[in-house]
A and B are shown apart, each in its own frame.
Chain A
Amino acid sequence: MHPLGVTMPLSAELFLQQFITGLSSGFVLFILASGLALIFSVLGVLNFAHGSFYMVGAFMASTIVGLLAKTGVSFWPALVFGPFVIAILGGVTEIVLLRRLYVRGLLYQLLLTYGLILVFLDVTKAVWGPRPRTIPRPFGLEGWVSFGGANFPSYSLFLVVMGVLIYFLLVGILKRTQLGLRIRAAASSGEMVSALGINTPRLFSLVFFIGCWLAGLAGALAAPVGSISLGMDASMIIKCFIVIVVGGMGSLFGALIGALIIALVEAYAILFFPEFSIVCIYIIMALVLLIRPWGICGKPLIER
């Protein structure tokens, strides 16, 4: 048990190291949360099962890595193909199960995604077994990079790069493509979209597909860090949820800011209050809820 208070002398090195740690986990969290935010702004559904897709993504990556262990390059195929498997899983789920519930109302959709959590949890246990597993960092990224007088895991830097790339990829899609235009239209007004002749069911499926792809990608990226276990879904969905509450419901930039704030707060809080780091995050969420309940980048809703 750590006593409350600074456990080691705070040096510039440590500061910088925690910064990179926070940044890298923040970007993975962003990738996951962006999927959730996307699904939420277009479909209006809070996908409770998003953490489950993430978890399955991590396990899937471990399987692909295992299959290709003999070749020298096992991680990269996992990173490229894994998310698509998850995305297909998500797309099928949406078409078969979720679509029928759009007429029934939001409540039923929420309950369905909750049911999915239960199903995914046991299916994952059945397929991959109850014990946590790990996969090694990919070849070339196992080492350390040093600058500023400190050492940083190369993989963490890789995660940061990936996160930034995904952010610009998403922004690019939203701002410059037909699909992005449709997504933005749907995000600002659901009813208008079908009136405009946009094929709503197909758009919804596509967005859910992309959202799950992002979840799978986050899972694959997170797989070499720490362990892959059955509880991953619960811890991540809570954090993800906090991110979009803090960052703004339905805002991509908000998801980025929210994720980075949460991850950095956690990274630094662990230094000072290891027992209460999670409380710090909740305090931030509380502050946002009290002062600006629609999130930092969210649009204030008319109170009627």
Chain B
Amino acid sequence: MARCKLIAFSLLVLVMLSLSAAAQSDPISKPDIQPYGDYPSPDGQAKAQTTQNPAYQAPDKNNPKEVELDDVTFNEIGGLRADPRAKPGHPGSAEDLHDARVAVAEVAERVLQSSHPEREQAPHRLTNETVRDLNAGNRDVIRALNDSLSAARSGSNTTQGAMHFRTGRHKFNSLYGHKATMFFGPFPDATGGKRYLTIAP
């Protein structure tokens, strides 16, 4: 009887250990950086692609608002990646990440259109590192930029007029004293760690 109990207990612990190991975050592999030679200025955006990579969809240069919104959205959450283990439509999935970008684009646009557009957000231009990654054909960055543009163009109101967002290692109960209304993630960050997005009115 004691032997049976020991076996049963051991099996239970084995199962729990396996589940625990599976639940750990796998380290994110380093971006697939390729050799590069030319560095356009962030203002000039980037052009280079390879045939194996998704095509980069540049924002409409004649539409500064779109460029600005695209870049702010990417800069705010472009480093986040969909969790490959998340079920479609569930927190952390590619769909959830797209919805998060849409939410950020919506709030960012409201801030830019508000009477206080100077309220600090991420910069309205891509950083040198992003441009370098783009020129190097980094697929994750190209996908994130394309998705940011799609979010910027969505013109939706999924956040129902929300004016605040924040990314962090955990969810926030409130922002600016307003109870949070939407949460996204957790998403793996390109350099490691997990990030959530919180939205509040």
- Binding partners A and B: no
Query: Which residue numbers of B lie inside 8 Å of A, CB to CB?
Result: none
Query: Which residue numbers of A lie inside 8 Å of B, CB to CB?
Result: none
